[in-house]
Amino acid sequence: MALAPHLSHPINQDQLSRCSFVRDTLVRDGLYDGSDDLKTGPIGPNAHPTDQAVTTRWRIAPSPLQLPPQEAAFLESLGRHLLAFYRALNRLYQESLRGAQPAWVAGYLDQGKPESLLTYSRMKRFRDLTPTVIRPDIMPTNGGMVITELDSVPGGIGLTAAMAHAYARLDLPSGASTFHPSRFTPHADILGGADGMVQGFTRMVRAQIGDRTGCVAIVVSEEAKDYRPEMTWMAARLREQGLDAYCVDPRDLRFTEETLFATLEGRDRPVALVYRFFELFDLKNVPKAELVMYSAKKDRVSVTPPFKPALEEKLAFALFHHPILAPFWKRELGDESYPILAGVLPRTWVLDPSPLPPSAVIPDLRVGGRAVADWRDLAGATQKDRHYVVKPSGFSELAWGSRGVSVGHDLPQSEWAAVLDKALASFSVTPYILQEFHKGRQFESAYYDARKDDVVPMAGRVRLSPYYFVAGDRVELAGTLATLCTPEKKLIHGMKDAIMVPCAAAPSNVQL
């Protein structure tokens, strides 16, 4: 169904045609709700599958979100620093286990995990493995970029790929005055390129397969079932690249002593690589998960991301900022990566209820200009002194999709105090972190408004989600998804009234 086919104003007609093309393309791809009713509920790569009324609908913009050239260049270069961070974090954990670093480091990263998973993750076979997909959530602020967290099992891969491909075809041919979908040409400035997500995922997969024979199984759990359409779309694109790839339900896997198989269209296919699209906290609910783990243990199959919960904890940022660990990070990251990461990783603390001795204070944490020695001192902080976020560190159903996030200055004092109490009480099972809140700067965009049957402007704050794929020592930016919400939203995530759009680099002569 075309949007507003007969409008008298040519500029908006052009924008409406662009929105229509993107919408119709994503509907055909099975990634956008093509019905005309306006449903409610969160959507997108950070929506949690158990939230109510999950739907694939958002506000469609007529053009990519343009970033200043220096910010686009920063995103292009950031991947190698994040890979260095993951490798250093992995080394820090290993050194903590063997006594070369403080034992409390591994203690924090292991807190609340089942011993069986910890034992498995520490096997020598997996010692050097780190995530091969890296997606930071970034807030562009007036003071620069701030990474609020890292995700190594991110949603949005297929969605971002499909959107980049659609928006990349929206450029008018040189000299044209009217928009014609049949005359689309590639948009050279989409970050990562029109097919960067597919090509990047393909390179990552090939590197992981190595000389193994068999298919690629993108295993999506029941909890993550709302992401199956985008992973099914991505598997189809991988097949176009020459890879035998499929999106698979865990129940379709089976194992013999020699091979892991996926049952596809009634026929068993040997699996060379499992792309794990399920969270480790949910392992007990994922059928055949133990077969995948056993297959990897026996080196019958490669699995990415690895079953290493220590690398999926948000409290890693607290370890980065801990003064006792500063010499380690400076040595491991070097003069290139350490200053970059120190400038973009916000100060973070583990909400550990253990009492401090009288002479100790919590490093770098001050309330009302005073040092803090007890977390409960934060409970009485004024609104302006509690510009902090509290959220679970990981290994919890509340640790993704923004479900467990509380913003201090957005809560009444009694609720803020209750949030702190709950976080401290949960430490033995699910550690929480306290993190500085950084206010995003404002961006301008536009979207198709069905009620007005027109494209209307919208200002808001943006979360940038760049996707980096790792192939050996090579890490590249494949694409960036922007989520823009109206200014009153403290938490930015996919929802029906958010604009979701790929990013492009603005020409150097354009003022933003």
CA-CA distance, 49 to 400, in Å (whole number)? Answer: 10
Contact 477, 76 (CB under 8 A): yes
Among 393, 416, 397, residue whose Cα is nearest residue 406: 416
CA-CA distance, 34 to 23, in Å (whole number)? Answer: 8
Note the residue count of the chain: 512
Neighbours of 47 (CB within 10 A): 25
Residue 264 confidence (pLDDT) above 60: yes
If you count DSSP H runs as helices and E runs as strands, how many of each does the chain have, helices first? 11, 19
Instruction: Encode pLDDT of 188-209 as tens digits.
Output: 489 999 999 999 999 999 999 9
In a domain, 220, yes or no: no
In a domain, 304, yes or no: no
For residue 223, give both structure tokens.
């909890």
CA-CA distance, 41 to 47, in Å (whole number)? Answer: 9
CA-CA distance, 254 to 295, in Å (whole number)? Answer: 10
Q: At what angle do helices 69-97 and 103-110 cross, to 10 degrees?
A: 110
Residue 37 confidence (pLDDT) above 60: no
> Which residue matches tokens 């916000």?
346
CA-CA distance, 15 to 135, in Å (whole number)? Answer: 30
β-bridge partners, 401:
none
Q: Domain containing 370: what range? A: 347-436
In a domain, 156, yes or no: no
Comparing 18-27, 40-49, 272-281, the range with the smallest average pLDDT is: 40-49
Instruction: Encode pLDDT of 244-262 as tens digits.
Output: 999 999 999 999 888 999 9
In a domain, 216, yes or no: no
Residue 280 confidence (pLDDT) above 60: yes
The two most distant CA atoms of the chain are separated, in Å, by 74
Helix, strand, coil share (%) of the chain residues, nearest 5:
35, 25, 40
Average pLDDT over every residue of 367-393: 93
In a domain, 405, yes or no: yes
Query: Tell me, what's the pLDDT at 507?
Result: 81
Query: Tell me, what's the pLDDT at 45?
Result: 41
Instruction: Encode pLDDT of 331-367 as tens digits.
Output: 999 999 999 999 999 999 999 999 999 999 999 999 9
- The chain-wide mean pLDDT, for the chain, equals 89
> What letter represents residue 490's amino acid?
K
CA-CA distance, 503 to 67, in Å (whole number)? Answer: 7
In a domain, 418, yes or no: yes
β-bridge partners, 468:
134, 477
CA-CA distance, 219 to 207, in Å (whole number)? Answer: 18
Half-sphere exposure of residue 499: CA atoms within 13 angstroms, side-chain side: 31
Among 498, 501, 450, residue whose Cα is nearest residue 42: 498
Residues sharing a CB contact under 8 Å with residue 37, sequence separation 6 or more, in sequence order: none
The count of structural domains within the chain is 1
Query: Tell me, what's the pLDDT at 468?
Result: 98
pLDDT band at 285 (very low <50, low <70, confident <90, very high): very high
Contact 297, 283 (CB under 8 A): no
Residue 42 confidence (pLDDT) above 80: no
- Strands in 244-403 per DSSP E: 245-248, 253-255, 260-264, 267-277, 302-304, 348-350, 366-367, 370-371, 388-392
Secondary structure in 3-state letters for 177-238: CCCCHHHCECCCCECCCCCHHHHHHHHHHHHHHCCCCCEEEEEECCCCHHHHHHHHHHHHHH
Note the pTM of the prediction, 2 decimals. Answer: 0.91
> Which residue matches tokens 């109510």?
52
Comparing 27-36, 92-101, 164-173, 335-344, the range with the smallest average pLDDT is: 164-173
Query: Tell me, what's the pLDDT at 57?
Result: 85
CA-CA distance, 337 to 82, in Å (whole number)? Answer: 8
Among 232, 234, 226, 230, residue whose Cα is nearest residue 197: 234
Instruction: Encode pLDDT of 466-509 as tens digits.
Output: 999 999 999 999 999 999 999 887 677 767 889 999 999 988 65
